Amino acid sequence: MSLAILVGGMVLVTLAVFDQVMTVVAVGGGGGPFTSRITSGLWRLSLGIHHRVHKHGLLQAMGIAVTLSILALWFVALWLGWTLIFAAGDMAVVDSLTGEPADGWTRLYYAGYTLFTMGNGDYRPDGAGWQVATVLANATGLALVTLAISYLVPVIQAAVHRRSVAATIAAVGGTPEGIINRAWNGSDLSAIEQHAVSLTSDIGLINQRHLAYPVLHYFHDNDPRSAFAPRLAALDDALSIASEMVAPDQSRESS
């Protein structure tokens, strides 16, 4: 048995599981150490390409691309880690019919299908220790699928919700001036205050989701009406203008 290969595989599996937990379970943790570095690197790369070719479609596609790259990272890390573990022992995986030890490519194949199934019986682990390792590999694969779904679905829901809130703000006015003009009823701007209050809970939820799922920062919208950051900035500017337009006597009455 090669102890170095075994330890290397165990370390890789441990780091993959740790990265999954930190990304999915640790709310507000900013993502796992590998996830955060890879996603930020991909985003910087896409920004560099965008500055050269000026294709907004590239940025729009990066949100889902970065999300899928996270899932691919976890799968590849687990697959490679378990391949190293099963490659550490000469008789870790054997042919079910002949009992001959599997070669390198076969162990890669065995580790891959073991992550998501218990295999088709053509190869089997030899010995109690490797049987336990096979069960653990299958458990980490099932955990990967569960965590991937637990991560992907809320991210998509959060992205859709953010677009919905942006569209709601855009319906009131596309610019700070437009928001002010629509809110003015001839005597005051009470409508803008009501609009801001109604959006408070939605904006707070979006903020918390960004902390829980930093990958949301990489979802880009080509349509200005559904781009959350510009719409929120317009609303903030409109509120600032409205506060400056309040007469001093009105301020004292409201206080």
pLDDT band at 137 (very low <50, low <70, confident <90, very high): very high
pLDDT at 249: 47
Residue 51 vs residue 37, higher pLDDT? 37
Alpha carbon 48 to its chain centroid, in Å, reads 21
pLDDT band at 1 (very low <50, low <70, confident <90, very high): low
Give phi and psi for 124, each to the nearest 5: -145, 155
pLDDT at 85: 94
The model's pTM is 0.76
Instruction: Return d(Cα 248, Cα 209) in angstroms, integer.
Output: 38
Written as six digits, the tokens of 79 are 């697959």
39-92 residue pLDDT tens: 888 878 877 777 777 666 677 777 888 888 888 999 999 999 999 999 998 888
Question: Which has the closest alpha carbon to 242: 197, 203, 194, 188?
Answer: 188
